[in-house]
A and B are shown apart, each in its own frame.
Chain A
Amino acid sequence: MTITDNKFSRRVILQGAGAVALVGLGNMSFALPAFAAANDKYPEAAFKQKSDADAIKALYGKTAETSDKIKLDAPEIAENGAVVPVSVTTTLADVSSISFLVAENPIALVASYRIPAGTVPSVANRIKMAKTSKVTVLVEAGGKLYSADKEVKVTVGGCGG
């Protein structure tokens, strides 16, 4: 299995800076209408909250109940807080979004994923952790909010430079 590269990449390198500028403009005109059409506004306020409780309030405006139908997969101990692999799957129905929070990070909210109908409610990503913390995953399903969390020990923090 090969990983697909942008097919323009070689030509761009050959043609140099002028081509880079053109390709950059092209990308922009493509990308922006796509976001507008999907009505996907970036939740700026939620990404400014320091605590996980405030971030949840800003993002969803409601509180979550814990659910055993959410399986959060994160390491017990993360040797490198800069790269902590975290994934989640759930058997909840009608999932519309999945979000990850790290309570002890300077900004608690790490990521929020929109799950349209037809997309499997399962996400894997890699997050930063400043120090040992509770990692929370929120799943919005059928208009209600559910959560699961796990304590992850960090031996070297991810925000210390």
Chain B
Amino acid sequence: MASTIRVRATNNGDITEVQALIQHPMDSGFVKDSKGEIIPAHFIQQLTFEYDGKPVFSADWGGGISKDPYVKFAFKGGKKGDELKVSWVDNKGATDSTTAKIG
């Protein structure tokens, strides 16, 4: 299975801008399927970005985040060619992680 996480991290001098797109159903647990049965909750709860061994940004999410979530943020520092580590865990305990090179 390919990674669920796609990350683009771009350094423009002082600041590194990060955009991430994750494949995940983000089912809130409030939606019914075509048979009228509730689709059980299945969503990412925590998403963490680490640079140089330290978290630079972390998210606590509920089922109110859209399917295939997108997030954008920026942090001071970050060198071109360095790695940014991204990981998530969902409410069923599934996880994924990846590293992206800062460009």
Residue ranges of A at the interface with B (Cβ–Cβ < 8 Å): 1, 3-6, 8-9, 12-13, 20, 24, 27-28, 30-32, 34-35, 38, 40, 42-43, 47, 82-84, 87, 102, 105-107, 109-116, 118-120, 122-128, 130, 158-161
Chain A min CB distance to B41 (Å): 10
Given contacts A4-B7, A28-B95, A127-B66, contact A119 B30 (CB under 8 A): no
Q: Which residues of A contact B6 (CB under 8 A)?
A: 3-5
A110: min CB distance to chain B, Å: 4
User: Known contacts A5-B6, A120-B73, A123-B71: does B66 contact A112 (CB below 8 Å)?
Assistant: no
Give chain A's interface secondary structure class.
mixed
- Across chains A and B, the number of contacting residue pairs, with CB separation under 8 Å, is 164
Set A1, A107, A114, A124: member contacting B55, Cβ < 8 A: A114
Q: How far is the CA of A123 from the CA of B67 in the complex (A)?
A: 18
Chain B residues with CB below 8 A from A127, complex form: 64-66
Contacts of B34 in A (CB 8 A): 161
Residue from B54, B56, B76 having most chain A Cβ neighbours under 10 A: B56
A130 CB contacts on chain B under 8 angstroms: 30
In the complex, residue of chain B having the shortest beta-carbon distance to the beta carbon of A47: B62
B48 close to chain A: CB less than 8 A: yes
The 0/1 profile, CB within 8 Å of A marked 1, for residues 72-103 of chain B is 11111100000001011100000111101101
In the assembled complex, the Cα of A120 lies from the Cα of B73 at a distance in Å of 7
Q: Contact check, A6 vs B57: say whether CB atoms are below 8 A apart.
A: no
CA distance A126 to B44 in the complex (A): 14
- A1 CA to B95 CA, complexed, in Å: 27
Closest to B74 in A: A120
* New contact pairs (14) apart from A115-B57, A118-B76, A159-B31, CB-CB < 8 Å: A1-B10, A24-B95, A35-B48, A107-B64, A110-B64, A110-B65, A114-B57, A116-B54, A119-B56, A119-B73, A122-B73, A123-B71, A126-B70, A161-B31
Given the complex, which residues of B lie within 8 Å of A107, measured CB to CB? 28, 30, 62-64
| In the complex, chain B residues whose CB is within 8 Å of the CB of A126 | 65-66, 69-70
Q: Check if B57 sits within 8 Å of A38, measured CB to CB.
A: no
Please name all residues of chain A whose beta carbon is closer than 8 Å to the beta carbon of B63 when the two chains form the complex.
107, 128
